[in-house]
């Protein structure tokens, strides 16, 4: 219930989310029960010790026997549960050791074993509770109610009553109740509950907002796009619930070792008894064989890995999935929405330099986006989004006519604008100004640049949207689904983690898929796949390797289920893919997959080390005990030390090791995001260099030098100060984080080369005379402009992949670029 509209969560929800509290009353938890067992065991051991010191051996014997009996109850329960599932686990040795100590009168040894088992269970419960803390935080943030706009008023309703299309008001500090889109203005969203990233994200009108996040700014209106049940946050909570305490999976490794260890311990105990005729030797063997390293060390290491992965936004559905993730050999990726941004993005703006709009690419985007505001086409949304990212003022169009599949035309601030195919854009504006249907073919009217655009689209697999303005074809906007900014870094980290083969499987055309695959460096591209083809590809790879399949769509669900480990992107993906997957990325960062694989591999390694350490030391002690060198009571104390060593080693999985991901936080992350935003701002300006080079063959000498001069001014006034600031402010931070200047030496050398090329360009422009500009001068100028442009594009890409992706925040999407033909 809300009071004054200031909260969208009920107080009772927070209480329910707290461990050990139900309706205000404390309830029993595994940790509380284990602590009680430890208290009883230590109390019984202490009472027996007091009786022994005061020479009351009967009291001490009873106290220690009762202590052994207390520990025997949960041990027997565990054995019975295992037998019910047709499994003879490692608890058998613990039960035999406790029974044996009491049977032969070694009550002190039985009490020590009881304390050992109780403290081990407490450590396990504590580690499990710590591991689930991040998951409980997700559940505690689940929204309960919302304010819905109904007419002129606001009404508080339960989130279950929200329908798709409802207009909601999210106040400052409130939880976003369902998935939706910002209706107008902007919203500042704190996504830390889902992603762990502390920096709030600014959302513009039309941007998607996920439920469970917090409004860190002023009130805003949200148009619901899902119900509460179908929201992204509800799906994540369901995944959390399915991921809780999957102990069956996490002890698989222990069970494998137990198959050899338990029979060996029982056989050695039987031989010691048979050959010596002393039952005490058999009991001593069983005491030092008490398998706490197997019972506890493996689950502790695995659950610790689950906890660390969850804190990085990766929910792994149990220990079995974590083990499999850590030994993966082959990773298969879907393309669209997984390796790529997943939505059309304006990547180039090509204009006819002879047209009125050709000299102003930003104006071309503004006109096209203004017209497309009223179009439901997916490419129209991409143009409007691009204009808003550039802060271009849009005008509401008039006299709009749209022909589905071809284009749209209308008037924008008195200008005739048409957007669509080349034929439509040229004919539409031609007809509008009286040229009639017999207007000249666009390929002839547009000239060579139109053919160039079409060829680029064929080679790159892009889509071109042509724009006609005031009676002529003015330019084209090139749209593509570019690779995600963090994809190259993720692939490099996978290879560093030992993944031997990376495959991309996609339903896209072969030429598009191969272009993306070549840019990312995957080993094989399988294109034009149906869901059945993806399933077949996963099965084929699975015949020879442990496979991981990564996807986000409904068509990926069969392949996700068939892979050794299926990984779904919950931040963008569908419920079907998340349900079918073993691992879910709740944060929109693909590079977290590489982190999770490194965490999994380290956790499994630590679990194996802990088991081998405990078993090795126990085997040595068992041999000594079988020859009579170790009595039951000292053996129990020795085994306690062995258990502590094994469990302590397992707890190392809670801390980062070599799998630690280098990342920037706080002020460092803010600085990284600042320079990334600078890249976003400067990128369109880089194409002044390419546009100046592109017109060198056809334009007049004065125009060539004018454009080259504009490009040079951009470099001197905007680009070089940015590069100098990176060297002076950002690179020293990277040096300290990455552990040496070698990590930034190459980029600093690139800065020197950029300065050198800009100086050369300035000196060349000082020497050139428009009245005496010959072919050799134009060639030198064009080569220098193209060279500087290529160096800058490569340098920007390297910084974005290697440095800006280190910030714990979503990567900035690629900005659009402007090109003048």
Q: DSSP string spanning 518-558?
A: HHHT-SEEE-S--HHHHHHHHHHHHTTS-EEEEE-SGGGHH
Q: How far is CA 586 from CA 235, 244, 288, 305, 366, in A?
A: 10, 16, 44, 17, 35
Show Cβ contacts of residue 259 under 8 Å, excluding neighbours closer than 6 positions. Answer: none
Q: Positive or negative CA dihedral for 715, 717, 722, 724? A: positive
3-state secondary structure of 364: helix
Measured distance CA(312)–CA(110) in Å, rounded: 43
- Residue 780: active-site member: no
The order of strands in the sheet holding 524-526 is 314-316, 583-585, 565-569, 547-551, 330-333, 501-505, 524-526
Q: How far is CA 732 from CA 391, 679, 722, 724, 736, in A?
A: 33, 19, 15, 12, 6
Show Cβ contacts of residue 215 under 8 Å, excluding neighbours closer than 6 positions. Answer: 170, 171, 172, 173, 174, 175, 176, 187, 188, 189, 190
CB atoms within 10 A of CB 716: 14
DSSP designation for 480: E
Measured distance CA(596)–CA(312) in Å, rounded: 8
Q: Rounded to the nearest 5°, which phi and psi values hold at 798?
A: -65, -45
DSSP designation for 336: I
Q: Bridge-partner residues for 168, per DSSP?
A: 148, 222
Own/partner long-range contacts of 75-83 (Cβ < 8 Å, ≥24 apart): 75/117
Show Cβ contacts of residue 551 under 8 Å, excluding neighbours closer than 6 positions. Answer: 333, 334, 338, 534, 557, 559, 560, 566, 567, 568, 569, 573, 577
Give the residue from 134, 165, 159, 160 showing the smallest Cα distance to 147.
159
3-state secondary structure of 598: helix
Show Cβ contacts of residue 164 under 8 Å, excluding neighbours closer than 6 positions. Answer: 224, 225, 226, 227
Selected catalytic residue, list 91, 190, 246, 334: 334
DSSP designation for 400: E
Is the distance from CB of 499 to CB of 329 less than 8 angstroms?
yes
Measured distance CA(178)–CA(263) in Å, rounded: 55
Give the residue from 371, 367, 592 showing the smallest Cα distance to 489.
592
Three-state secondary structure readout of 485-508: CCHHHHHHHHHHCCCCEEEEECCC
Angle at 193 between CA 188 and CA 195, to 5 degrees: 85
Strand 407-412 versus strand 398-403 pairing type: antiparallel
Measured distance CA(386)–CA(388) in Å, rounded: 5
Catalytic residues: 334
């Amino acid at each position: 219930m809300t009071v004054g509209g200031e909260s969208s969560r009920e107080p009772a929800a927070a209480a329910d989310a707290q461990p050990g509290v139900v309706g205000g009353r404390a309830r029993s938890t595994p940790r509380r029960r284990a602590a009680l067992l430890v208290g009883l065991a230590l109390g019984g051991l202490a009472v027996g010790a007091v009786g022994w010191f005061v020479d009351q051996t009967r009291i001490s014997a009873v106290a220690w026997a009762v202590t052994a009996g207390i520990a025997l109850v949960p041990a027997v329960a565990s054995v019975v549960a295992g037998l019910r599932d047709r499994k003879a686990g490692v608890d058998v040795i613990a039960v035999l050791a406790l029974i044996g100590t009491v049977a032969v009168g070694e009550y002190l040894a039985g009490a020590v074993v009881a304390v050992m088992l109780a403290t081990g269970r407490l450590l396990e419960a504590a580690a499990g509770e710590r591991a689930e803390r991040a998951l409980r935080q997700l559940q505690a943030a689940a929204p309960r109610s919302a304010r819905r706009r109904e007419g002129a008023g606001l009404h508080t309703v339960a989130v279950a009553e929200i329908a798709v299309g409802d207009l909601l008001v999210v106040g400052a500090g409130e939880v976003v109740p369902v998935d939706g889109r910002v209706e107008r203005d902007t919203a500042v969203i704190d996504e830390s509950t889902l992603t762990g990233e502390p920096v709030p994200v600014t959302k513009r009108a039309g941007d998607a907002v996920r439920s469970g996040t917090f409004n860190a700014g002023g009130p805003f209106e949200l148009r619901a796009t899902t119900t509460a049940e179908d929201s992204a946050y509800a799906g994540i909570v369901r995944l959390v619930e399915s991921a809780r305490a999957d102990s069956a999976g996490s002890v698989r490794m222990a069970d494998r070792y137990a198959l050899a260890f338990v029979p060996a311990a029982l056989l050695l105990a039987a031989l010691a008894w048979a050959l010596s005729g002393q039952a005490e030797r058999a009991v001593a063997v069983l005491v030092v064989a008490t398998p706490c390293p197997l019972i506890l060390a493996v689950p502790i290491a695995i659950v610790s890995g689950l906890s660390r992965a969850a804190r990085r936004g990766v929910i792994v559905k149990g220990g079995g999935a974590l083990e499999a993730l850590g030994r993966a050999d082959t990773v298969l990726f879907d393309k669209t929405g997984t390796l790529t941004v997943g939505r059309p993005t304006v990547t180039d703006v090509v204009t006819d330099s002879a047209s009125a709009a050709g000299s102003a690419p930003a104006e071309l985007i503004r006109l096209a986006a203004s017209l497309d505001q009223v179009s439901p086409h997916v490419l129209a949304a991409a143009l409007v989004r691009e204009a808003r990212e550039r802060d271009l003022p849009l005008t509401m169009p008039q006299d709009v006519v749209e022909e589905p599949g071809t284009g749209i035309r209308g008037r924008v601030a008195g200008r005739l604008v048409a957007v669509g195919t080349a034929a439509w854009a040229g004919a539409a504006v031609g007809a509008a100004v009286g040229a009639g249907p017999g207007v000249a073919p666009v390929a002839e009217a547009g000239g060579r640049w139109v053919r160039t655009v079409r060829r680029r689209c064929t080679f790159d697999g892009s889509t071109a949207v042509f724009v006609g303005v005031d009676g002529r074809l003015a330019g084209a906007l090139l749209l593509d689904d570019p690779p995600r900014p963090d994809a190259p870094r993720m692939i490099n980290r996978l290879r560093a983690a030992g993944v031997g083969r990376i495959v991309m499987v996609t339903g896209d055309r072969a030429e598009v898929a191969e272009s993306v695959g070549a840019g990312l460096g995957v080993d094989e591209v399988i294109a034009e796949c149906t869901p059945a083809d993806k399933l077949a590809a996963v099965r084929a790879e699975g015949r020879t390797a442990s496979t991981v399949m990564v996807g986000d769509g409904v068509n990926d669900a069969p392949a996700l289920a068939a892979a050794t480990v299926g990984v779904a992107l919950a931040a963008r993906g569908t419920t079907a893919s998340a349900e079918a997957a073993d691992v879910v990325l709740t944060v929109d960062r693909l590079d977290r997959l590489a982190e999770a694989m490194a965490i999994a591999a380290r956790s499994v390694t630590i679990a194996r080390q802990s088991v081998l350490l405990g078993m090795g030391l126990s085997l040595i002690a068992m041999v000594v005990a079988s020859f009579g060198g170790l009595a039951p009571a000292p053996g129990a104390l020795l085994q306690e030390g062995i258990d502590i060593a094994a469990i302590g080693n397992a707890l190392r999985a809670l801390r980062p090791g070599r799998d630690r991901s280098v990342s920037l936080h706080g002020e460092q992350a803010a600085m990284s995001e600042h320079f990334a935003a600078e890249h976003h701002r400067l990128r369109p300006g880089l194409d002044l260099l390419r546009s100046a080079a592109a017109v060198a063959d056809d334009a007049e000498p004065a125009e060539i030098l004018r454009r080259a001069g504009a490009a040079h001014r951009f470099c001197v006034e905007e680009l070089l100060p940015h590069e100098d600031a990176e060297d002076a402010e950002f690179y020293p931070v990277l040096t300290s984080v990455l552990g040496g200047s070698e990590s930034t030496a190459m980029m600093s050398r690139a800065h020197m080369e950029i300065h050198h090329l800009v100086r050369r360009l300035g000196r060349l422009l000082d020497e050139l005379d428009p009245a005496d500009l010959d072919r050799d001068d134009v060639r030198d100028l064009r080569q220098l402009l193209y060279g500087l442009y290529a160096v800058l594009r490569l340098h920007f890409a390297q910084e974005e992949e290697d440095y800006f992706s280190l910030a714990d925040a979503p990567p900035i999407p690629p900005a659009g670029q402007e090109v003048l033909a």
